[in-house]
Structure 1
Amino acid sequence: MGYVTTNDGVDIFYKDWGPENGKVIFFHHGWPLSSDDWDTQMLFFVNKGFRVVAHDRRGHGRSSQVWNGHDMDHYADEVAAVVQHLGIQSAMHVGHSTGGGEVVRYIARHGEDKVSKAVLISAVPPLMIKTEDNPQGTPKSVFDDFQAQLAANQAQFYYDIPAGPFYGYNRPAASPSEAVIWNWWRQGMMGGAKAHYDGIVAFSQTDFTEDLKSISIPVLVIHGDDDQVVPYHDSGLLSASLVRNGTLNTYKGAPHGIPTTHADQVNADLLAFVNS
């Protein structure tokens, strides 16, 4: 574990586990979490001889709680800084939710020469917000309400999300895990409120359509069709069709937080893809 400082002076925390010469998988976390959200996957792959890397983006987890730069371009540049610092080559980049947008923007902005494959899990591309060109998107009022709830009572908001739609715990047949809920809350509360407030705009209003079209490496898209946070038909289904070499794995009845709720299935799919 360590830190790398970006060109604009932000200290980015990262984890780097496994053999230096191992095949690299780089994990990108969702909003408003941290690299800790990937621990299940990182332990699985490091025990299979892979080198696994994950970072806390600016304002999240243990990285600097700066007030500015909470947009996808800065997020992508932070990834590039970690990649350069660690000398990573030919990595498979795996992003969940906002982290999926970060992966797409990183590849489009910094090129494919250091990337072998990409995986988008419950990811926000191509565009979440409803616009004239994206009429099936989520109304802006929903994201405005997210910001209002965060500003009013961050601690309560960060309990309600995992206790409800994030893991599908609001569904009648669900069996909520308080440990999972509080681990989500813990990660969210580690970060900065300003970063998370601005991050809602970043993940909801960034249009990744052209980024997706530019990607030629193999891309695996994994999405649950009962995702209440990033709707399946508006995101995963479209992303898989926009990249040049995409494969879509649909998890029937699965929620947004599938790296946790469907960890064994996700790990198996990632292992098969990285070895393909």
Structure 2
Amino acid sequence: MFFGKKRSSLLMVGLLCCTLLSQIFLQNTAYAENSDEASPSLLNNAEQLNQIATSLYRNALDYNLSAVREDIGDLTRQVERFSFDGLTTVEGMHALTETIVEVKEATASVQAASDSLQHASAKLRLAVDSLAHPDKPLWLQYYKIMKEDLSSIEQKVMNEPGTDITAAYSELESHYETIRPAAIIRRPPYEIERFDSWMSYLKGLTMSNGAKGQDILDAVKQGDEFANALFGKEKDATAFVPFAAGPEPWAANLFLGSAIVAVLAYVGYRKYRGNHQSYF
């Protein structure tokens, strides 16, 4: 009977230890796959793309169509030879190429619209910058702008009940569309899809004559939370995040896992001692 209890206790501790260690290993593997730093050569190539995109944007502001077309041609040739492995996802690559096509379309006519060209070139510049500077991309600067857009909609609904907020929504939509390709390059797909769905919902409310002010305010509050998540500024981060998400997260996970395993092993040992002493 003693040996049966002994084996059961040790087996339970062993299974718990294996489960915890397996979980830690899988977490570390997933983290490594998602957080591998791009090689210096990849970053160098991305920086070359960034220089071309910056030049294109400046030429678009000057409405220098011939220079813009030359830049977009150079950028296209570079991207065709470019490897995105380690820099972004398939969705990010698709967003970048779509933006390149948008700039090409904006420059297709002899008298291209200045506003559409500038908007498309701004999107492209932010997207390429997001590739080249994963730690501090320029598109994150739009956080304050979009929060002000949300606040503007909220103030109009609260202070001017029944007023048309279509123009205020259009400002928010324009700013979001500007950063969207850059955000796709860096953020998880579900965050983009969630914000897209929310934008569609808010647009429906702004276009509906029967929409209640409280419904719009509730939607804006939800959008405020989604914006925080999109820009990586969640307010509900736990106290363990700075430790577990530091320079060496795998070490933090291993430390915590080892501590738990040690406690379980000690408990199993004490139980074994208790059983042993009770029989002898």
If the TM-score is normalised by the length of the shorter chain, which range does it land in?
A: under 0.3
Using CA pairs under 8 Å that are at least 6 residues apart, name the structure with larger relative contact order, 1 or 2: 2
TM-score, length-scaled by structure 1: 0.24
Which structure features the higher share of strand residues? Answer: 1
**Considering only CA atoms, is the larger Rg found in Structure 1 or Structure 2?**
2
